[in-house]
Structure 1
Amino acid sequence: MKTALFIHYPKCGTCRKAAKWLKENNIEVKDRDITKQNPTVQELKEWIKTSGLPIAKFFNTSGNIYKENNLKEKVKTASEKELLEILASNGMVVKRPILVANNLVLIGFNEEQWTEKLK
């Protein structure tokens, strides 16, 4: 496997668990801090398509921005273009970690899923 892209928030406990798991399993990654480099609209489009998941799965539903801006309702009614722009506007709106590798995009850390997909 070529080097995977690991997009994370360093202060996030789940992201730290995922990083530890990657290291323990000798999976080489290129780190990217989501607060310093937001995913672009184009990247998000590609990742959503590759993942096969609905765009709603890419939102960090437990984050303050999601709650303060009532994004739960907006996700139900907004166009894909609007939702992509919201996601690309602030990395803290995006669910993390994200692992992008070999025609595979994993959102959030689920050890069982990551083991199945990456080993």
Structure 2
Amino acid sequence: MAKATIYHNPRCGKSRNTLKILEEKGVESNIIEYLKTPPSFEELKTIIGKLNIKPEELLRKGETVYKEKYKGKNLSDDEWIKVMVDNPILIERPIVVAGSRAVLGRPPENVLDLV
């Protein structure tokens, strides 16, 4: 893999470990701290497509904002994406994108599928 983009939270151990694996494999990474620079609706929709999952599967359901505002709601895919764009803390991390493929670094070794 020539270059990857990692949607990263430096406070998250899984995110740090995923980045470490990329570095150990010599993969040049564009690091996006998604809590500071959240993806746009279209970017997140594209990422979810590359992950080949439903938007709701990318939600961090243990977060307070999810429990208080969204738990039990039946929203459309686009509505869930909008929720994550508006509340980036709800986006599961880390996400590594390389070309037309993406993986969720849970566990961090998932990134090996891209290298």
Unaligned runs of at least 5 residues, structure 2? none
Does the 8 Å CA contact 2:9/2:33 hold for their aligned counterparts?
Answer: yes
Q: What is the Cα deviation at residue 90 of structure 1?
A: 2.2
Q: What is the Cα deviation at residue 66 of structure 1?
A: 2.0
Aligned to 2:33: 33
Identical columns (%): 29
Q: What is the Cα deviation at residue 109 of structure 1?
A: 2.9
Number of aligned positions between the proteins = 115
Q: What is the Cα deviation at residue 118 of structure 1?
A: 2.1
The TM-score, its normalising length taken from structure 2, stands at 0.88
Matched, 1:87 2:84: yes
Q: How does 1:2-81 map to 2 (within 5 A)?
A: 2-69=2-69, 71-74=70-73, 77-81=74-78
- Whichever structure has more helix as a proportion of its residues is 1
Unaligned runs of at least 5 residues, structure 1? none
CA distance in 2, matches of 1:111, 1:14: 6
Q: What is the Cα deviation at residue 67 of structure 1?
A: 2.5
2:71 counterpart SS class: helix
Q: 1:101 aligns with which of 92, 98, 103?
A: 98
The TM-score, its normalising length taken from structure 1, stands at 0.85
Amino acid at match of 2:71: K
Q: What is the Cα deviation at residue 52 of structure 1?
A: 1.2
